[in-house]
């Protein structure tokens, strides 16, 4: 007779994994990574926002993005396309008609991701949205610094518990909570005790 498993197997966590992803002392390392990645995002977004020709935001908003999207759509043809057909369809059917909106989203989104990372505000979420932007740029056939920024951002998402410890997350996360634990503003038990 085979033995029935009624609970999940308990696997020991590697010390290095525990240190990197759960130990507040690793937040020193993550602070360096956050500042570097965040600076890259702020620099990119600030350059778009302050562009003197206003091709990202302002009077000519959408011009730069239209050129980028048009170039990406052109990369979807040939024997070995750099852009997949489904993504080119998304760009031509959804992004291209809304380039002004997406120009603002990209420019201010880059700055928001950078500020979130540098200040340690919702660090895991900020890093996640950085990865989303990196992935879209990669899908559009632009390598540039996208993989270089996406790889440390993936680790920041994994280290969300302690990556923002030397930042506002140290105080913010206990207040607003996490997926597994309600924050003090949402915890009805704590409100009942304090009433």
Confirm whether 159 is domain-assigned: yes
Q: What are the start-end ranges of the H helices in the chain?
A: 15-22, 27-49, 63-74, 85-90, 99-119, 123-139, 146-158, 160-163, 169-176, 188-194
Confirm whether 194 is domain-assigned: no
Confirm whether 34 is domain-assigned: yes
Confirm whether 41 is domain-assigned: yes
Confirm whether 7 is domain-assigned: no
Distance CA 97, CA 86 (A): 16
Q: What is the pLDDT, as a whole number, of residue 188?
A: 64
User: What is the count of structural domains for the chain?
Assistant: 1
Distance CA 15, CA 6 (A): 27
Confirm whether 19 is domain-assigned: no
Q: What is the pLDDT, as a whole number, of residue 6?
A: 66
Confirm whether 36 is domain-assigned: yes
Q: What is the pLDDT, as a whole number, of residue 11?
A: 77
Q: What is the pLDDT, as a whole number, of residue 194?
A: 53
| pTM (two decimals) | 0.87
Q: Which domain holds residue 65?
A: 27-188
Confirm whether 127 is domain-assigned: yes
pLDDT along the chain (195 residues), means of 10: 65 88 94 98 97 94 96 94 96 97 97 98 97 97 95 96 95 89 76 52
Q: What is the pLDDT, as a whole number, of residue 19?
A: 93
Cα–Cα nearest to 101, from 90, 113, 109: 109
Q: What is the pLDDT, as a whole number, of residue 73?
A: 97
DSSP secondary structure string for all residues of 65-92: HHHHHHHHHHTT-SSS-SS-HHHHHHII
Q: What is the pLDDT, as a whole number, of residue 66?
A: 97
């Amino acid at each position: 007779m085979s033995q029935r498993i009624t609970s999940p197997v308990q696997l020991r966590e590697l010390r290095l994994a525990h240190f990197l992803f759960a130990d507040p002392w690793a937040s020193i390392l993550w602070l360096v990574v956050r500042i570097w990645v965040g600076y890259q995002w702020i620099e990119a977004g600030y350059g778009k926002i302050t562009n003197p020709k206003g091709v990202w935001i302002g009077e000519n908003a959408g011009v730069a993005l239209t050129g980028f999207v048009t170039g990406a759509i052109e990369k979807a043809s040939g024997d070995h396309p750099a852009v997949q057909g489904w993504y080119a369809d998304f760009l031509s059917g959804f992004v291209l008609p809304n380039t002004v909106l997406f120009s603002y989203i990209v420019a201010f989104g880059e700055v928001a991701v950078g500020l979130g990372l540098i200040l340690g505000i919702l660090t895991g979420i900020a890093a996640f949205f950085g990865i989303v932007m990196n992935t879209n740029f990669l899908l559009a056939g632009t390598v540039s610094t996208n993989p270089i920024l996406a790889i440390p951002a993936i680790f920041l998402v994994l280290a969300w518990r302690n990556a923002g410890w030397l930042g506002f997350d140290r105080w913010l996360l206990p207040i607003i909570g996490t997926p597994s634990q309600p924050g003090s503003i949402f915890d009805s038990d704590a409100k009942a005790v304090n009433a």
